[in-house]
Amino acid sequence: MVDRYQKLTSSGPGAFLAKRLGLPRPEVLERHRPGRPVLSGPVVVEGADGGRMTEPLRAVVASLPSAERAAGGSGDSPAALVFDATGITDSTGLRALHAFFHPRVRSLAPCGRVVVVGTPPELARDAREAAAQRALEGFVRSVGKELRRGATAHLLLVAPGAEGAVESTVRFALSARSAYVSGQVVRVAEPVGPVAVPADWERPLDGKVAVVTGAARGIGEVVAETLARDGATVVCLDVPGQAEELRAVAERIGGDALPLDVTADDAGDTLVGHLREHHGGLDVMVHNAGITRDRTLGRMDADRWDAVVAVNLTAVERLTERLLEADDSGGSVLREGGRIVCTSSMSGIAGNVGQTNYAASKAGLIGLVQALAPTVAERGITVNAVAPGFIETRMTAAIPLFVREAGRRMNSLGQGGQPVDVAEAVAWFASPGSGGINGQVLRVCGQSLLGA
């Protein structure tokens, strides 16, 4: 769907008019293209005294192909400003944030990145350090709202002992893959399984098998395309009524199609049987299928409530349980090192008028992810969720004009996201290198003004 306002203000006459009238001018965001370097300009990496992440961060940046780099100094239009705040142990040390960013932040390149790395406050050595590390969140969320020209901000909280597990996350945060993610907090813990560094970061899913539900169109279709781009063999799953469209998607990406109603009593058995017979197992499960049946609560009949909860939440619970069940050999179809990714929503975080059923189901997915995380970690499996905000799809195209424009503009980037923005976040969660990310919910919302 075309954002006509953004298109207008990106043109010469439109940009001139918007500037004269003081209107916002949403930046055309840089998004990942295969073969493109992670960074398009110099990166400044520094840290507070005593920080434990400065050298690991410099090592990751130095490994990025075809990128200009700077170990220090302000540089000209840096593509990224990276600061290790793990050495800040009390409130007075927060002055280091100002000292680093104040002289540099206004020179950040369009679509640049601010990345701050800290320690999870709950793992701090005392109350003063916990306060200082918690302060980083307020700092980064505020910076994200101040940045202009498509730049974004990220806070990575790295647990002691997880220093060697940050590369996948740092690459995601610095790259165009995170174009519509800003002001978010990502916790990196020690990997739940062996540290797995992809042989090729452009194709981290080579040799992996993935399932994407709701893959016939919309976000699910783009998720399937993105996982295939990253090397996975994708089983595209959707309702039998979408079988023709589903087969077209599967054929285009070199996967296979499985028309299946996820709410059917035998859906889990059918899926497991298909995976064992045709693929030998599963590595990545993406629960993307979802429906809406909107009405305010007083006007919502029970059928609308039941249908949404059945597809969006109950089916996810049942399929996941079945995928994790042990077979006769003692193992499950979802292999060790597997990844489960659920598609929640900003509605599940902030609520939405007319969506009590939908918001309840999407909030329930967050609860499911958080409850499953420690259990599946024992088997080297991670489970996470993405929570999209306003994404340009056929569904949002049907929203009334003024409501649609409000949804687009009420975020720090001043525009709606694209389905590929959600897909890139799913692909990051799915990567073998993301074993330190578990039980988390990533908002893909341009730092929406709604919710936390």
Picking from 188, 219, 237, the residue at the C-terminal end of a domain is 188
Let me know whether 309 and 184 are in one domain.
Answer: no
Three-state DSSP string of the chain: CCCHHHHHHHCHHHHHHHHHHCCCCCCCCCCCCCCCCCCCCCEEEEECCCCCCHHHHHHHHHHCCCCCCECCCCCCCCCEEEEECCCCCCHHHHHHHHHHHCCCHHHCCCCCEEEEEECCHHHCCCHHHHHHHHHHHHHHHHHHHHCCCCCEEEEEEECCCCHHHCHHHHHHHHCHHHCCCCCEEEEECCCCCCCCCCCCCCCCCCCCEEEEECCCCHHHHHHHHHHHHCCCEEEEEECHHHHHHHHHHHHHHCCEEEECCCCCCCHHHHHHHHHHHHCCCEEEEEECCCCCCCCCHHHCCHHHHHHHHHHHHHHHHHHHHHHHCCCCCCCCCEEEEEEEEEECCCHHHHCCCCCHHHHHHHHHHHHHHHHHHHHHHCCCCEEEEEEECCECCHHHHCCCHHHHHHHHHCECCCCCECHHHHHHHHHHHHCHHHCCCCCCEEEECCCECCCC
- In this prediction, residue 377 carries a pLDDT of 96
CATH number (domain holding residue 409): 3.40.50.720
- In this prediction, residue 68 carries a pLDDT of 47
- pTM reported for the whole predicted model: 0.93
- In this prediction, residue 34 carries a pLDDT of 87
The predicted-structure confidence for 225-246, as pLDDT tens digits, reads as follows 999 999 999 999 999 999 999 9
Let me know whether 175 and 288 are in one domain.
Answer: no
Per annotation, catalytic residue among 83, 139, 172, 358: 358
Kindly give the parts of the chain with pLDDT less than 70: 1-5, 7-9, 11, 14-25, 65-75, 328, 330, 396-402, 451-452
Say if 1 falls within a structural domain. Answer: no
The predicted-structure confidence for 318-358, as pLDDT tens digits, reads as follows 999 999 998 867 689 999 999 999 999 999 999 989 999 99
Domain count, the chain: 2
Say if 142 falls within a structural domain. Answer: yes
Picking from 188, 220, 251, the residue at the C-terminal end of a domain is 188
- In this prediction, residue 331 carries a pLDDT of 81
- In this prediction, residue 194 carries a pLDDT of 75
Establish whether 358 is a catalytic residue.
Answer: yes
- In this prediction, residue 79 carries a pLDDT of 95
Give the range of the structural domain holding residue 139, as residue numbers without chain letter: 38-188
Let me know whether 281 and 355 are in one domain.
Answer: yes
- In this prediction, residue 71 carries a pLDDT of 44
- In this prediction, residue 326 carries a pLDDT of 84
- In this prediction, residue 74 carries a pLDDT of 43
- In this prediction, residue 73 carries a pLDDT of 44
Let me know whether 184 and 215 are in one domain.
Answer: no
What does residue 25 show for φ and ψ, rounded to 5 degrees?
-125, 90
